């Protein structure tokens, strides 16, 4: 992992081109004794292909985490705040769902609970938002919004 400052400095001190594609050039170097690679695009459409490929890994890993919360324990755990800023990639590029500070555990044997609305506006299930009734479906709705967000970013 490198800080944005380190990456910016590396960008201005590119010292070895290792591959030249039609739409990009790969550069390598060393930052504080650690090797790095930077892919610089010459066409704007090409990065979206890489992003789409990477988002497919995330699209498969996050629902596994959500299903685990919903089914692995005697009491259902509902995350309540699934969004891009709560998903991180580990050093192997595996998506991890984080920030369980809004999560709630349903009473054993129950599939819903009436609870004050918590979560990020726009990601919150409209049924939960309007009734205060929280179900596992609320996480499924938030995941759908998250998927829309990573496939159709606001800047496009």
Q: How far is CA 38 from each of CA 26, 30, 126, 140, rounded to the nearest angstrom?
A: 6, 11, 41, 35
81 tagged catalytic: yes
Q: What is the largest CA-CA distance in the chain?
A: 61
CA-to-CA distance for 55 and 26, rounded, in angstroms? 21
CA-to-CA distance for 112 and 71, rounded, in angstroms? 14
Catalytic residue, candidates 50, 81, 125, 139: 81
The set of catalytic residues is 81
């Amino acid at each position: 992992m490198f800080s944005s400052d380190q990456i910016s400095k590396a960008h201005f001190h590119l010292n070895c081109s290792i591959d030249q594609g039609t739409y990009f050039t790969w550069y390598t170097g060393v930052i504080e004794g650690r090797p790095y690679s930077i892919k610089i695009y010459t066409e704007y459409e090409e990065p979206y292909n890489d992003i789409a490929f990477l988002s497919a890994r995330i699209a498969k890993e996050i629902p596994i985490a959500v299903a685990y919360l919903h089914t692995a324990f005697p009491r259902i755990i509902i995350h309540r705040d699934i969004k891009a800023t709560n998903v991180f990639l580990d050093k192997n590029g595996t998506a991890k769902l984080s920030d369980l500070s809004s999560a709630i555990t349903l009473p054993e044997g129950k599939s819903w609970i009436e609870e004050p609305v918590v979560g990020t506006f726009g990601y919150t299930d409209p049924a939960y938002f309007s009734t205060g009734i929280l179900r596992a479906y609320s996480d499924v709705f938030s995941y759908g919004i998250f998927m829309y967000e990573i496939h159709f970013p606001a800047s496009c």
